Structure 1
């Protein structure tokens, strides 16, 4: 297995340095780059070969949420995990709806952080245990897909929805179905439109709530 290449994004140099030192102690990971704000992170995401971006929420110049939105709008498919002190429900929901692959709090144990990074890089949705209850509310009133929505999906879209529910990335789905990542992105966009949902996380949570998936 190749090393997990990480971009660390935080506006506090001392904290950023500490995370980098922690990551570099693990032989399975390597620091590919650092960024001090969201704008630098967006630029780095477009130029570096990355497996995962670990990014703070509250930063000057451009915050993590806006950077996340811009990355996803730019077609960045790298796994992105928010790493922050904010445990506000609105922040968690906004990040996951914008396409984050995880939401971790900075008070976690160092060893747990390394484990969660590996899980996220492997395609899982990671979230601090004390925030898990918020996941159930992501598909809120008025955002749930119609009960007959499954029948509107093609067999390929249904297979991809099931893969999303298992936390698989576009790259993993493409490899499993023997299609290109670009084709996966098109199918994800179409199934979100049909389900009336805004993000792959919403789709995954909705799919899990449908017992047959």
Structure 2
């Protein structure tokens, strides 16, 4: 089996495990929060979950669209976060996979589940039985609104990510710098992934 295939399978397993753990955590936390609030507050929480999904999707797209050259110039000027931004662009495939597929998809699933819970709370508060026509209509309307906000938000996010990829990734790099320097939480191990072009040049 080729080394690239092994690495791909290994990364897929790691992502699957991370997704499993994060999905469970998100589900437990969101359910715990929603169980003690009114349907109106629940709606706000659902919209926040949607916003998180849109935000991470935007960051993931920005990582794939960004060019690392501007960050080398920033690193030469010793700007905080520039080195981390270089690591993000060099690991754009995995970084985008985590942001778009892991966090983004989990947010989509959790927002759908939370929407159903909010509709149920609204129906009960208004005195409608479970499975009533009101609950059905409310569920369709609320689910449609959440879906529209998710798709529309990601569409706008992708446009912004492509146009302002450098700025977005630099701000993420500054956040990683803060985590590494102030909180001692290392995001990247410091190993730089070499691009195929560099490898090919060495072989010649």
Q: TM-score, normalised by structure 1?
A: 0.22
Q: TM-score, normalised by structure 2?
A: 0.23
- Which protein has the bigger strand share? 1
Bigger Rg, which one:
2
Choose between structure 1 and 2 for higher RCO, CA contacts under 8 A separated by at least 6 residues: 2
- Which protein has the bigger helix share? 2
